Chains A and B, each alone.
Chain A
Amino acid sequence: AQSVTQLGSHVSVSEGALVLLRCNYSSSVPPYLFWYVQYPNQGLQLLLKYTSAATLVKGINGFEAEFKKSETSFHLTKPSAHMSDAAEYFCAVRGYYQKVTFGTGTKLQVIP
């Protein structure tokens, strides 16, 4: 079985501040981990993915995430928030049978 827990359904940061979105996972097999962004009434866009190579993964729009096996975490960060980063972010894990399980999402609000 596999699962994803995203801590905090809503996160607010000031423009220019650090963005930290938390994700913890469980998986009975070595996982592939993903972060997706969703803008209102749109599909999902892949931000970055971990596939057992480098533990620090860099993605689009200045985001990065670090895979920490000991903590079963894959937190998403960005050094300086931009207004255009306001969206909903989903962490996902892919385990057995190629199935992808999504977290419940974190809505990021950027305050000017």
Chain B
Amino acid sequence: GAVVSQHPSRVICKSGTSVKIECRSLDFQATTMFWYRQFPKQSLMLMATSNEGSKATYEQGVEKDKFLINHASLTLSTLTVTSAHPEDSSFYICSARLLAGVNEQFFGPGTRLTVL
């Protein structure tokens, strides 16, 4: 099956710093990638939809200047949490969808971000 990786799996940073999370589709090309955030004991909340070569579409309430998304190629999307604060601590999960016409999303293993 299609494999999606995320790097790093865990990151601890100081408040005020920026953190970049990578999401890669390893064996397929993904025109669309999605970024989710999951707080403890809660469901996944879609943050943004990332299309290769264009600007990401952010969900209501998600600050685009704080959560920078770049989808530079068909196999890589990055999420940068800028000026991180403790309330940004969460589990961030990406998913990738095969080229248009296929309906399944494949999820990465997630990145645990802890901001001190």
Contacts and interface: CB of A to CB of B under 8 A. Distances in A.
A102 interface: yes
A43 B43 contact: no
Contacts of B106: 46
Interface in A58-112: 90, 94, 98-105
Interface residues of B, number: 23
Contacts of B44: 44, 90, 102
Residue of A32, A43, A105 ringed by the most chain B CB atoms within 10 A: A43
Given A44-B93, A98-B97, A103 B107 contact: no
Interface of B: 4, 6, 32, 34, 42-46, 49, 91, 93, 95, 97, 103-110, 112
Given A43-B107, A44-B44, A102-B43, 15 more contacts: A32-B103, A41-B91, A41-B112, A42-B110, A45-B107, A46-B107, A90-B43, A98-B32, A98-B49, A98-B97, A99-B46, A100-B34, A100-B95, A100-B105, A105-B43
